[in-house]
Amino acid sequence: MKNETREKFGLLLGLLGVICFSLTLPTTRIAVEYFGTTVVGLGRTVVAAVLVAVVLIVRKEKLPSFRQFKSLILVAAGAVLGFPLLTSWAMKSLPVSHGAVEVALLPLATAGFAMVRAREIPSLKFWISSVIGSVAVIIYALHLGFGSLQFADLALLSAVIILGLSYAEGGKLSKEIGSWQVIAWAILIGAPFFVIPVGLSLTTEMLHAPLQAWVSFIYLAVVSQFLAYVAWYSGMAMGGIARVSQIQYLQPFLMILIATVFLDESITLFTLVIAMIVVFSVILGKNAPISKNGSVSEKN
């Protein structure tokens, strides 16, 4: 495949990954109403583990080393435990458009933890962008919470921080074992610990859940938890991390659009303005210069 064609295909895969991730909060909102937080938050990993096991066996992937296994535990703590569980709980009470604004901080959180992991010193520009984005989200949450932060807001912001750390650790580890393999092994590590709590949370009433709820849960398990990562990581590998990662700025607006069209949520101008401010702060922060060992470099 020619380089130009490869890059275009990488951008297409990256866009596909972002679209898939944009459906995560809306489908969580639907599924959690019928299956509950534990089944939706942890059960998706149990189901995804079956698909992952088949893929890893067919491809005859090499087992991670003990050192890599320790890093995978951190990835699993964020990507397959913390984020799914906390967002499932938050989506029981928060509208998707609200969650989209707060999740928009994820790239900035990831960049911050990546700097820490690489022992890089964030510049003043990075800290300014972080403050702008964080203050915008807090003002938005306070506005919708009638002057006080809701516990669901705190859960969602905690989920963003935890997943940011997980992404940073996964990004570092992907250079050793491959990009999508990181989430695959993380799923297999977490799934056995989730079987019992998920099993205890199952009820016969769940069998009577509407088709929309079942489709949403299956989507979360098969697409959001695994296939979306394959598309996203493969896209960055083919199209370049710097170019493809820019597509992620579309995610909050796609979430808001989906919430408006499919969940009949009313979107205010205030929500769109805050979303634009947050995305601007993320772009500013990701491109901020960083210093390491006395040298300064510009992030792409």
pLDDT-derived band at 294 (thresholds 50, 70, 90) equals very low
Contact 169, 117 (CB under 8 A): yes
Q: Is the pLDDT of residue 293 over 60?
A: no
Domain range enclosing 75: 3-298
**Could you give the residue ranges of the DSSP H alpha helices within 23-150?**
24-59, 66-76, 83-90, 96-103, 106-117, 124-144
Q: Is the pLDDT of residue 118 over 70?
A: no
Q: Using CA atoms, how far apart are residues 285 and 267, in angstroms rounded to an integer?
A: 27
pLDDT-derived band at 38 (thresholds 50, 70, 90) equals very high
The better pLDDT of the pair 200, 248 is held by 200
Q: Using CA atoms, how far apart are residues 30 and 26, in angstroms rounded to an integer?
A: 7
Q: Is the pLDDT of residue 147 over 60?
A: no
> How many other CB atoms are there within 10 angstroms of residue 203's CB atom?
11
Q: Work out how many domains the chain is built from and give that number.
A: 1
Q: Is the pLDDT of residue 249 over 60?
A: yes
Contact 297, 290 (CB under 8 A): yes
Q: What is the pLDDT of residues 181-237, one digit of tens each?
A: 999 999 999 999 999 999 999 999 999 999 999 999 999 999 999 999 888 888 877
> How many other CB atoms are there within 10 angstroms of residue 33's CB atom?
16
Q: Is the pLDDT of residue 131 over 70?
A: yes
- Give the mean pLDDT of the chain: 85
